[in-house]
Structure formats: structure tokens, C-alpha cells
Structure 1
Amino acid sequence: MPSLIFDLDGTLIDSVPDLMAAVNRLLAAEGQDPMNRSEVQSYVGDGAPVLVRRVMAARGLPTDRHAELTGKLVADYTARSSELTRVYPNVRDVLAEFQQRGHRLGICTNKPGAATEVVLRALGLDGFFDAVIAGDSLAEKKPHPAPLQAAVAALGSPALYIGDSEVDARTAEAAGLPFILFTEGYLRVPLREIRTTTTFRNFDELPNIVAGFSVRA
């Protein structure tokens, strides 16, 4: 019975609306024009400091303000991180089914820990997970394998990783785990460039996929 470790943003939840709102509040305070969803979405997935660095580069803001602006964005986003964010269809039912089957469940995300806790609680997902490794839980972030390895250590082997992006694929490969790609998330490169074990479009497909791994394990 494998442990199941999930990415968060773009995998279990669509968080770009709240991230975009936070980015645009930051830009407005700096006298800058807002960004649209596609631009903000292309910047997410590598953690808040990288998101802010990309936003600053796009608007020509001075690099020596990176720490300041990152702090402002993280504080603002954490306080309002579940206003517009939504859980993808069928996620709650599928997580409950996995729990009933006896799978241990975890999160491995680059989102800061405080925001992760707020979002999981606000969206009613906090009761599903036995381990949560966030973007500031360790010194390293994905695609470094250490966060995913920490989740496996907490939950037990064998384990599968479920995510939506090239960052998740690289993390799973580095950690030596099978990778299941949710194709409706925030993938920034063509699907053909991603090394996956298998893919799915809707969460109601996932139990049968995982059951196949359980039989082989």
C-alpha cells in the first residue's frame, strides 16, 4: 500500500487567482500595471522568492529590494490566500477514498508553510494529510529531492508522487519515485518533455491508477 505524496498548487488546488491578486496588490503599491493570469501562472511553482524575482524582472524593479518585496508579498498572500483559491473537482472525495483504503497521505510543496497551513485549513483539506513538507520546511526547495525524501521518510515507502509541473517531474526523478502527472495544472513546458510514469486529467481517474501500483507493489 504505497504512501501518496501530492504537490499542492496546480495539483490539488487552483491557487493562481489569489497569487495573482497578491502580485497585483504589490505592483499597485509600487505604481506598476497589473499582470494577467497567464503571466503570473508562468512564474509560479518554484517558491515565493522566485515568483517575486520574476515579477520584479518583468517590471524592472530594482533587485536590491527583493527581500523587502518578498516579505511584503508573502505576508499579504498568507493573510488572504484562500479568498479566491478553489479545490479541483473530486479532490476531497478521492482523498477520503485513499484514506479509507489505508494509504498514508502527504504534501510536498514549495508554498511557504504558513500559507500552506492557512489554505489547507480554509479549504477543508487539513485533515487528510499525515505529513506536510512546505517550501520553508528545509533549506532546499523542489526540484531538489530533499523535500520529497523528507515526506517519504515521514510516511514510509513505497511512495508515489503526484504533481502537475516540470518541477514536480524533476523532483520525483531526483528522488527516484514514480511520478503521476495531473495534466490540468500549471505545466509550463510541452507534455512530451516531461518524464512521467502516467498522467490523468480528472481526480476520479486517480484511484484506479494508484490501485495498479498497489497491486504491483
Structure 2
Amino acid sequence: MSAVVFDLDGTLVDSAPDIQAAANRMLEGEGLAPLDLPTLISFIGNGLPKLVERVMRTRGIDPARHEELTQVTLAHYSADSSDLTVLYPGVRAALQALQAKGYALGLCTNKPEAPARDILRALGIEDFFAVVVGGDTLPVKKPDPAPLFTAFEALGEGARLYVGDSEVDAATAKAAGVDFALFTEGYRKGPVEQMLHKARFADFAELPEIAQALLTAG
């Protein structure tokens, strides 16, 4: 069965406001100024520990407190991971169309697995995904290809497509030797033209046809 695996943050969901809220609650506890949304978005992509590291560096916090403050931020985020998070337009219909075409669907994200599953459940799309690989499911995170390999292996043999929004996702697909479809409206840092991708789209209504073309090519 051919399979499509998705990134989560910036791909299926706009989750930055909830991540910002968790990071700012941590900073508030330290008596420090909050971060604006564009700054927070620039920190997304390599998992929560890296995001917290960047937040700490921006606010001049002792790096020795990284593990402690990562856990504080995770606790804030886990308590309210879906209050402000929304699906991008057309996501649900695209997932339904891909499932109707017979494709197996999975998720591979650098977000910790428990909050990732909470978001899928809260937004009513959990049942679309046969496998969820989070940033803490394995000892390594994207762009290491192991999480993506794990997701595809759980879905079985067949053609493979990864869908994401960022440089990290593009690098992961390249490392895994998997075709990459780029959602251009997410959290990427640089120009689309500088990212390796087989196809790109700004509207999820385009994705089912893109997936069919790539998964049946050759």
C-alpha cells in the first residue's frame, strides 16, 4: 500500500500560538519578557528542546538550566496544547480524499508524541493516522531519517511520500530518499526555491492530485 506521511506543526496545523504561550509562561516564571509570535515561529522545527534552547539564548538564561526549563515548558504546553491550534484550511478534506484513494497515512513530527496525539485528538483527525512518530519516540529527531523510516515501515511496503513545510522536513526526506511535497504556507525559514522538493502547494485541495502523481510515477 502506498503511504503518505505528514509533518505536524506548520504542515497540518498552525500551532505556533500555543507553543508561544507555553514558552512565554516559562519566561514569565523567570521574570523575563515574552517573545512575539514571529520570533517564536523562527525557533520552530527541531523539536521542543532546541526551541527552548533558542528561547533561553535570546533571553540570556544560563544554558545549564536547559533540561529544567525544557520540562517546565513541556508541562505548560502539555496542559494547553490545542487551545489556540487550528487545522490549516482544507486539511480534513485532503486527508479524507487521500484515504479514499487507498493510501495509508502517518505522522512524523519533532513534537513530543503525547502532545502530538492530543492535538490530533482535539482537532478530530487522530483516526486518519495509522502511526504517529514523535520527537521523543526514538532517541533521534528529524532531520535524522530514522523517525521517517519508522513511520513508513509501520505503514508497510509501497510508494512513499513525505509532506512538510520546513527545511528540516526537506532535509529529512532527502536523507531518507523519499519524495517530498512542500506546503508553502507553514514555518519555513527561507525561500521555497532553496528547498529541495518534488512538488509544492499552498492549498490542501491540491494535495490529493499531487500525491497520486508522485506515488504512481515510474
Aligned residues: 217
Give 2:154's aligned residue.
154
Query: Gaps (5+ residues) in structure 1?
Result: none
- The CA deviation string for residues 21-64 of structure 1, in whole angstroms up to 9 with x for no partner, is 11111111111111111000000110010000000000000111
Give 1:168's aligned residue.
169
Moved beyond 3 Å, runs of 4+: none
**Distance in 2 (alpha carbons) for counterparts of 1:148 and 1:138:** 11
Q: Does the 8 A contact of 2:160 with 2:215 survive in 1?
A: no
Identity of paired residues, percent? 50
Post-superposition shift, 1:111? 0.2
Give 2:41's aligned residue.
41
Please list, as runs of the form range in 1=range in 2, the aligned pairs for 1:1-217 lying within 5 A after superposition. 2-156=2-156, 157-217=158-218
**Distance in 1 (alpha carbons) for counterparts of 2:184 and 2:214:** 19
Post-superposition shift, 1:125? 1.1
Q: Does the 8 A contact of 2:161 with 2:215 survive in 1?
A: no
**Distance in 2 (alpha carbons) for counterparts of 1:214 and 1:19:** 33
Could you tell me the TM-score, scaled by structure 2's length? 0.97
**Distance in 2 (alpha carbons) for counterparts of 1:191 and 1:130:** 30
**Distance in 1 (alpha carbons) for counterparts of 2:37 and 2:170:** 23
Post-superposition shift, 1:100? 1.4
SS for the counterpart of 2:78 is helix
SS for the counterpart of 2:136 is coil
Post-superposition shift, 1:127? 0.6
**Distance in 2 (alpha carbons) for counterparts of 1:63 and 1:36:** 21
Q: Does the 8 A contact of 2:159 with 2:215 survive in 1?
A: no
Could you tell me the TM-score, scaled by structure 1's length? 0.98
Query: Gaps (5+ residues) in structure 2?
Result: none
Over the residues paired in the alignment, what is the CA RMSD in angstroms?
Answer: 0.9
Q: Does the 8 A contact of 2:52 with 2:70 survive in 1?
A: yes
Post-superposition shift, 1:215? 3.2
